Amino acid sequence: MNDMATYIRIKVVNPEKIGDGFRAYIRYTITTETNHSDYSATNFEVQRRFSDAHALYEYLVDVYRTNGEHIAHPPAKSMLTSARIKTNKSEPNELFQIEIRRHALEAFLNRLTRNPVIAKDKEFIKFLTSPVVLKQLYIRLLLKLGTI
């Protein structure tokens, strides 16, 4: 029997502004270290946008909320903060806002890992481990919104 406790440790690091103006967005590097048996390796690194976390949240709510699972809320997505980040050029306030989002995103993902049902969800695992964009999460979100 293995006496070592199962763990999933997530760090959100290296926020990087991609693009300019209102098409700009921040891309974060998400590193995951785990010994969880449902994960294919022990270390992963993926790139994700803030909006990817919101798509993940919507997916998790759709799948698990009716089963009584508690789903941690993602960081708030403020239009004002988004506009400031997109239009400012490395001003201290912009860097501060990006750091607040980075920290909140890291806390959100780590809260999700504490739910054993979510920790082994296939889409959650893909979010943390697969370098490809998670089209299934976005398709599900668009269907929910009635835009496709």
Q: What integer pLDDT is reported at residue 1 of this predicted model?
A: 44
| Pairing assessment for the beta strands 43-49 and 25-34 based on DSSP bridges | antiparallel
Q: What integer pLDDT is reported at residue 95 of this predicted model?
A: 82
In a domain? residue 96: yes
In a domain? residue 90: yes
Task: Supply the pTM of this predicted model.
Answer: 0.83
Across the chain, which has 148 residues, the per-10-residue mean pLDDT values are 80 92 89 97 96 91 89 80 58 81 97 96 94 69 63
Cβ neighbours of residue 86 closer than 8 Å, sequence gap 6 or more: 21, 22, 23, 24, 25
Q: What integer pLDDT is reported at residue 48 of this predicted model?
A: 95
In a domain? residue 2: no
Q: What integer pLDDT is reported at residue 92 of this predicted model?
A: 72
In a domain? residue 1: no
In a domain? residue 47: yes
Q: What integer pLDDT is reported at residue 141 of this predicted model?
A: 65
Q: What integer pLDDT is reported at residue 85 of this predicted model?
A: 59
- How many domains are there within the chain? 1
Q: What integer pLDDT is reported at residue 138 of this predicted model?
A: 65
Nearest to 31 by CA among 11, 7, 6, 16: 11
Domain limits at 43? 8-145
In a domain? residue 3: no
Q: What integer pLDDT is reported at residue 132 of this predicted model?
A: 79
Q: What integer pLDDT is reported at residue 61 of this predicted model?
A: 92
Q: What integer pLDDT is reported at residue 22 of this predicted model?
A: 80
In a domain? residue 101: yes
* CATH number of the domain residue 74 falls in: 3.30.1520.10
Burial class (CB in 10 A: 0-12, 13-18, 19+), 124: buried
In a domain? residue 86: yes
